[in-house]
Chains A and B, each alone.
Chain A
Amino acid sequence: MSYYQPEIECASREKIRELQSERLVRTVKRVYDDVAYYRKMMDGQGVKPSDIRSVDDLYKLPFLTKDDLRDCYPYGLLAVPLSDVVRIQSTSGTTGKRVVAFYTQRDIDMWDECCARAIVAAGGDKNDVVHVSYGYGLFTGGPGLNGGSHKVGSMTLPMSSGNTDRQIQFMCDLGSTILCCTPSYAAFLAETIINQGVLDQIKLKAGIFGAEAWSEEMRRDIEARMRIKAYDIYGLTEIAGPGVSFECSEQTGMHVNEDSFIAETIDPETGEVLPDGTKGELVFTCINKDAFPLLRYRTRDICVLSRKECSCGRTLVKMSRLMGRSDDMLIIRGVNVFPSQIETVLLNCGLTSNYQIIVDRVNYTDTFEVQVEVTPEMFSDTVKKISTREDELVTSMRAMLGISPKVTLVAPRSIARSEGKAVRVIDRRKI
C-alpha cells in the first residue's frame, strides 16, 4: 500500500484530533480578529474565540451558507491581505453572482497535496502519466488534479475538456496511465475508444472521476469497458476544490483530508450535529487555509460519515457516495446549476418566469433542456424572429451558467403545477 503522506493519512485518531483542535483554535482566533464578517457572526451568536478550545467546541460556531458568500462577494470573507493572494477559482452562485475563492501559495500547496494523496491512493507514482481532462480555468477540476500530479512527480497532460479525438490520440501516443475527468466524460471516452478500435493501444490503469454524482453500476461499467480501476473524488470550490476527500483501494467511500478540513454531518432542518453513520448534510470547516478558511460551511450535499477501520490503512474519516442535496442545486455535466439562475436570465430578457428544467442522462451524458412558456413579447408571425429570440436566450443562459441548455418554447400555462406551485425541475437521471 502506498501513501503520499502516511504520517497524516494513517495517523492515530488521537493525533488527528490533536492536530485538528490546534488548527481550529488558531483559525477561529485569526478570522475573528481579521475578518469583520466572522466577528459579527460570532458576536451575534455570543461566541468568543476563547470558547473554542478543541474540536469538541466546533458546534458552538455559526454556520456559513452560500448566501453568506454572496453577501460577502467578492472580498468580504478574505482573511489575508490581497497582496498575499496568488490565485482565485470560481463556481456559479445561486442568483448569478459567482462564488470566488482565494488562495495563497501555501493554500495552493495544501490543495495540491490533497490531490496528490488521491493520485497515490489510486496507485499513482512518478512513473505515471496523468491525463487531466477536467476543465482548466476558473473550474477547480483541472488545476487541482494538475497540481496534485506535479506533487507526485508524474508527467502531467493538461488536456482540459473537449476535443475527444485529440484526447484519445494523446492517450495512445503518450501512454496515459491515469485519467482524471468527470465520470460521464469517462464513459463517453470509453465508448469512443472502443468504437475507434484503439482499446489495445490504451495504457490506462486507473481513473479519478468526480465533480458529479455517479452510481456503483456506472463505476463497474466504466471499469469493465476501459479495463481500469475507477476512483471517486470529492470537493467544492468554496472549501478548496477536488481532493477535499478521495477514494482508496477499498472503493467504499472517500477519505476526508482531515488535517485540513473538519467534516460534520447535520440535520438540514435543525442544524443539529448527527452521529457517524447517520445520513445528513455535510458541513466543512477549513483549518489549514490562509486566504479563504470557511468555518462550518454548509455544502448542501447529503451523505454518511464513517470512522470504521479501512483496509487501506488510512485512519481519515470516510464519507459515503453523495446521496442527494438539501437544496435545489443541480449538477449538470459537472456544472452547478440553480433554478434561480434560469429565472434571473428569463426576467432579464423580459420574459415571465414560467419555466421548467428537464435533465436526463442519455448514453452517460447529461441532457439539459429549459422549457419556457411563450409570451406575446417572445412570439412573432415569423419563425426567424422567434429563433433569434431563442438563440439570445441560450446565449444569456450560457453566459450565466457556463453550459448551454436547449431552449424549447411551450404553450402558456402548459407547465405542470402542483398545488398552485410550478414544478421547476424534472430530473430523469437514474444515478
Chain B
Amino acid sequence: MAIDQISVFVENSVGRLAEVTAVLGDAGIDMRAMCIADTTDFGILRVIVSNPNRAIEILKAAGCVVSVTQVLAVSIPDTPGSLSRVIGILSDSGISVEYAYAFITRKKGNAYVIFRVENNEQAEEILAGNGVKTADTSELYEL
C-alpha cells in the first residue's frame, strides 16, 4: 500500500531549510524519514511524517509550496545485499525508480526503503509476488 510523502520547495539560500524544518518541529510533527534533492537553484525536501494532512496544512499556512506524492515503503532486513535484492526485482520487471531513500528503525534488524516509481500498484504487485512486503501508513507511524 502506498503512503503519502510530502515534498517542499526549498530555495537555495542560507537558513531556508532551517526555517522549513522549524515549521514542522514547532507544530510537533514527527519525521519518519527525509531526503533532499538539490539543484543549482533550489532543493526539494521530501519527508514522511506522522500526520501528513496536518503537516501540509501548516506548511501551506507558513507560505511553503508543497506537493503530495504516493510512494512505496518497503520493509527489508537490515542485512548486506537486501536493498540490492529489492531493486533487482524491480529492474528485472522493467520498473524504473525515480528516486529512493532508506532509513533504519528502532525495531532491531529492520530497515525501510522509500521508492518513487511511476506505477505504485504494478510495483507493489511485483514485489508481493516476490515475497517483499510494502508497509502501510499505520505500520510506519507506529515505529
Query: Could you tell me which A residues sit within 8 Å of B by CB distance?
Result: 374-376, 378-384, 386-387, 408-414
Least Cβ–Cβ distance between A302 and chain B, in angstroms: 35
**Residue pair B65, A408 in contact (C-beta under 8 Å):** no
Size band of the B side of the interface?
A: 20 to 34
Min C-beta distance of A214 to chain B, whole Å: 31
The residue on A at minimum CB distance from B16 is A411
Beta-carbon contact of B67 and A409 below 8 Å? no
User: Taking A409-B42, A412-B63 as contacts, is the C-beta distance between A382 and B11 under 8 angstroms?
Assistant: no
Which residues in B have their C-beta under 8 angstroms from that of A414?
11
The answer to whether B67 and A379 touch across the interface, beta carbons within 8 angstroms, is: yes
Which one of A409, A411, A413 has the highest number of Cβ atoms from chain B below 10 Å of its Cβ? A411
Enumerate chain B residues within 8 angstroms of A382, measured Cβ to Cβ.
37, 44, 98-99, 116
Near A by CB (< 8 A), chain B positions 56-70 give 63-67, 69
Contact B116 A381 (CB under 8 A): yes
Question: Do the beta carbons of A374 and B9 come within 8 Å of each other?
Answer: yes
A-B contact pairs, 13 of them (CB 8 A): A374-B65, A379-B66, A380-B67, A381-B46, A381-B67, A381-B69, A382-B116, A386-B39, A409-B9, A411-B10, A411-B11, A412-B63, A412-B65
Q: Which of B5, B9, B10 has the most CB of A within 10 A?
A: B9
Assembly CA distance A380 to B8 (angstroms): 9
Complex contact A376–B67 (CB within 8 A): yes
Q: Cα distance A379–B44 when bound, in Å?
A: 9
Interface presence of B50 (CB below 8 A): no
Which residues on the A side are within 8 Å of B46 (C-beta)?
381
* C-alpha spacing A376/B37, complex, angstroms: 17
A64 to chain B, nearest CB (A): 42
Q: How far, in angstroms, from A391 to B9 measured CA to CA in the complex?
A: 18
Q: Enumerate the 7 nearest inter-chain pairs by beta-carbon distance, A residue then B residue, closest first.
A: A381-B7, A411-B11, A381-B69, A379-B65, A408-B41, A374-B9, A374-B65
Provide the bound-state CA to CA distance between A34 and B98, in Å. Answer: 65
- Chain B's nearest CB lies how many Å from the CB of A57? 57
Cβ of A169 to closest chain B Cβ, rounded Å: 34
How far is the CB of A351 from the nearest CB of chain B, in Å?
12
CA distance A414 to B65 in the complex (A): 12
**Complex CA distance for A376 and B60, rounded to whole angstroms:** 10
The listed residue (B9, B39, B99) touching A411 by CB distance below 8 A is B9
Min Cβ gap B25→A in Å is: 19
With both beta carbons as reference points, the residue of chain B lying nearest to A413 in the complex is identified as B63
Q: A410-B11, A411-B16 are in contact. Are A381 and B65 (CB under 8 A)?
A: no
- Contact of A375 with B41 in the complex, beta carbons under 8 Å: no
Query: Which residues B64-103 have CB closer than 8 A to chain A?
Result: 64-67, 69, 98-99
